[in-house]
Each structure stands twice: as structure tokens, then as C-alpha cells.
Structure 1
């Protein structure tokens, strides 16, 4: 192998390693996201802020598809660069198949191997190349499995966030301007403790499923940025109550909201010294304004 072959091999191995690191941090590491997925998701998010209406809600799903496509492209190109120095002498060609040694031939071999289609027209000849191609097939299967598992776990997290927003809206409509003070203190305390548990679940979801932050809700009724400030008002009102159970529930809800604000401040760079300031910036970034 000459210097060019070594360079292609090192570059291909680097692309494969980048994909593995990105997939690990995005899908397998519970509190992280890879550099490739983070850059793509944030890029689509910034682009969606220029779009109005329902089109903006498509940005995050399209970005997720782009992330998966980027992973597949890194795998295909990475392994193609590993195969390129060994074409065509390192492979066995079926009778009648023209032997080529360009990059597109390497990409074709890589795509067939990754998808485990196995046409059999071009197969690895040497033991080392057979091992490499088998490793690519295993990687392709693992990438598909990890992607499907990640998506199946992400959408329930989105549903929990939407459910919390709906719960806050229902509470506001039922309680009216008086808030929790219009209810029986014990009943109100139970409701606020339930809200606190839901807020805590959303905080964990945002840490574990970084991509869910970028999903924009068109309807304010299902949007947490549009309703989270109301939860803050409920906590403040409960803390000012003379009932000890309601005071405790208010402190519990306030603590859960502080944890959520910490996640938004530290992970998604929302400024603010208080949780209310963080939530207001969170609302502006998602194009919603809080109502009293």
C-alpha cells in the first residue's frame, strides 16, 4: 500500500469511528448527544425559527431523518474508503461483472454489504477483507436496531411532555383565576404533587432524549413552553397558603420546576437567574407567550 492507500484507510476508519461515537452518545449514553446529531438537530431548529405555522413542526422529525441518514452515509463512505485500496484485486467478481477500482465501485460494495443484501456479484477475496465486510454487516444491523429502539423510546417521552401541558391547561380551566385556592386543600395538594412528578419525568426525558427539546408544538394547548409558567404560579400560590399540606405540595412542585429550569439553563443554554426567567426565554424560543 502506498501513501494514498494508507490515507484512505485512515480517513475511512475515522469516519466509522465518528459514527460509532455519535450513535453511542445519542442513543446509548443516557445523558448525552453526539456531535453530528447535535449539529444537525440544532441546524434544523434554527431553520425552523424562520418558518411559521405547521411547517415548523416538521423540522424536528426531518432532522431526525437527517441524523439517521448522516449515520448511514458515514458508515457507507467509511467502509468504502477501506475497500478502495483493495479494488479490484482484493475482491472476487462474478463472471460478466466488469472489474472497476473507482470510488463509486467501493461505495456500491459498501452499500450492498451494509444492507446485507448479498448479491454475490462482488465479494471479498482475502480473509482480512472478509472479516472487514462481515464487521460492516454487523454494524449495519446494529445501527438499524439501535435507531428503531431510540425512536420507540423518544416518542413516549414527547407524549409525557404533551400530557403535562394538557394537564396544566385542564387544571387552569377547571380552577379558574383562583387557582389551587378554589379547591379543597387536600385535593389541591394531591394535584400539585402529581404535577411535580410529571415535571420531574419531563426533566429526566430532556436529559435522556436530547432531541425531544427541538420538537415544536404548533398548538399552545399541547406545548409545555406555553404552560410551564402557569405551573410556577401554582407553586407560588400554594406556598403562600395557610394549609401545611398545600404548602408542602407547592414546595415540591417548585423544586421540580427548579430542576427543569436547571436542565434548560445548563443543557440548552436558556439564560436567567431565576426559573421564571428561564421559562420565559424557553417560551420565546418556542414562539409561545405565557398567559396569566
Structure 2
């Protein structure tokens, strides 16, 4: 039973490292496990009383759950590698009876101590290949910690960019911009700026898909609430006579198309046109829709 258990542990570690890779370092995909955890918490939040509060917690709580599962599964995987070889392949500090500290809990203890780079040394590998494997686990633990910090530091600026765009659209909505007002050089700048920010948000949804499951409690900073106005701006500007306004309107229209494609392919899966996709996005995230549920 020694090598089957060790191989099972190695397979579990490899699977979880694959999940980490696809979630954190492969910008066009994210791991199946992280997607399952985030979507499950998001769906559950829609069925709880006090949906606003539950939805607001679903994104941060989902990240905590994903990282915890990664760490625990990797620790268990390495424990399965160590356990079949205890106590013969390990050295024990004075006062510890090897035969009394060779169970699965002890293997998990060794794995957790190594993964967290504590290195207490009361139980340490003595066999050559295990002496090489243990530092590799410590290296994985250090890399996992660093990657998690990097993930968090990248995700929250992406949320800030999305909310900034939503707030800008909210400000524009309150100006009641007409076709005549947009038919100017200032209108070109406004439309081009919105189109550029939409492109940035689209890339953020690709690189940080977990950001989709973060709920924006303020409707002024909620892209779901404000995205419809971007489409209205493009429609109004399309009637302008200024040639540069028309070009900027086309660019904004294309940016909205790209955003709708990303939202539908990655999250909504409606197979519908742009307007229906944006409506579905608004229905999932809208403050007003959330209040009615």
C-alpha cells in the first residue's frame, strides 16, 4: 500500500497545482474548482434573505474558500506521500516515540509544518528522496502564499476600474446628454473615453473572472446598473453629423459588443444578442433586481 498512497497524494498535489495555474497564471481561463466555488456561493446568495449583504460577501468569501481548499488539498496530498513511509523514513526528536507518531494525523502535521515553512524539526524526513521532496513542498507553500497575495492585489484594482466606469456613466446619465451635445469635439472625447474604459473592463473580466462575482452595493458604482446608458450614448451619437463622433460611436458600439460576448461566453451562457446579454447581466447584479428577489 505504500506506493499507491504516495501516487494518490502526488496526483492530488498535481491536480491542485493545475487549478492554481489556471486560476492565477492563465489569463484566458480559470480553474474548474475556483469557478465551481465562486458560482455556487453566488447562486446561494441569491436565495438567502438579506440578499444584498449575502451577495456582498460572496466574492470575498469565495476567494477565501478557494485559497483554503488549495492549501488544505495540497497539504493532504503531501501527507499521503509521507504517511506510508512513517516512521522508518523519518527521524524523531528526543522524547517522541516513532511508533506512536506514525499515523495520518502525524503525516498531515509534517505536511502542514513543511507547507507553511515553519520547519519545527521534531519530525523530519531521513530518506534521500523525501529529504528532497520536503523542501519542494515548502517552495510550493511559499509560491502559493505569494500568488494569493498577487491575486488579491490584482483583483481589487480591477474592481476599482469597473466601479469607476460605472460612476462615470452615472455622472453622464445625470447630465442628460443629447445628440446635439454629443455632436462636438467634447462628445468625441467622452465617447472615446467610455469605449476605452469598457475595453479595460472586458480584459479585467478575462484576466480576473472572479471579479464577476463581486457585488456592487451602490447603484451609481454598479456597472450592471449603468451599462445600459453606454448603449444609449452609442445610439444617440450615431445620429450626430460630426464625422469623428460617428467614429467614436462605432468604437463604443464595438466595445459593448465585445463586453457582451465575454460576459455571455464566460458567465451567462444565454446565446442571445448583445441587448439580451446586457439585460441578463443587469438582472443578475442589479440592486433593484436584487431587492425584488
CA distance in 2: counterparts of 1:45 and 1:271, whole angstroms: 18
Unaligned runs of 5+ in 1: none
Deviation sequence 1:134-157 (CA, Å, 0-9, x none) = 110011011111111111111111
Deviation of the 1:184 alpha carbon: 5.6
SS in 2 for 1:273: coil
Deviation of the 1:244 alpha carbon: 1.6
Indicate the residue corresponding to 2:256 in structure 1. 257
Q: Does 1:231 align with 2:219?
A: no
SS in 1 for 2:63: helix
Deviation larger for 238-247 or 252-261: 238-247
Deviation of the 1:204 alpha carbon: 0.5
CA distance in 2: counterparts of 1:23 and 1:53, whole angstroms: 29
Indicate the residue corresponding to 1:166 in structure 2. 167
Deviation of the 1:270 alpha carbon: 4.0
8 Å contact kept, 2:268–2:277:
no
Q: Does 1:209 align with 2:215?
A: no
Indicate the residue corresponding to 1:15 in structure 2. 12
CA distance in 2: counterparts of 1:106 and 1:200, whole angstroms: 49
Deviation of the 1:182 alpha carbon: 3.0
What pairs up with 1:158-197 in 2 under 5 angstroms?
A: 158-174=159-175, 176=176, 178-183=177-182, 185-197=184-196
Indicate the residue corresponding to 2:24 in structure 1. 27
Deviation sequence 1:23-77 (CA, Å, 0-9, x none) = 1101011111011111111111111112312232011100000000011011100
CA distance in 2: counterparts of 1:36 and 1:185, whole angstroms: 49
Indicate the residue corresponding to 1:284 in structure 2. 283
Indicate the residue corresponding to 1:138 in structure 2. 139
8 Å contact kept, 1:41–1:64:
yes
Deviation sequence 1:114-142 (CA, Å, 0-9, x none) = 11111111111111111111110011011
Indicate the residue corresponding to 1:46 in structure 2. 43
Deviation of the 1:164 alpha carbon: 0.4
Deviation of the 1:183 alpha carbon: 4.8
Indicate the residue corresponding to 1:122 in structure 2. 123
Change (3 A) 1:184 1:251: closer
Deviation larger for 218-227 or 190-199: 218-227
Deviation of the 1:288 alpha carbon: 4.1
8 Å contact kept, 2:182–2:245:
no
Unaligned runs of 5+ in 2: none
Indicate the residue corresponding to 2:85 in structure 1. 86
The two structures, once aligned, show a CA RMSD in angstroms of 1.4
8 Å contact kept, 2:55–2:214:
no
8 Å contact kept, 1:172–1:179:
no
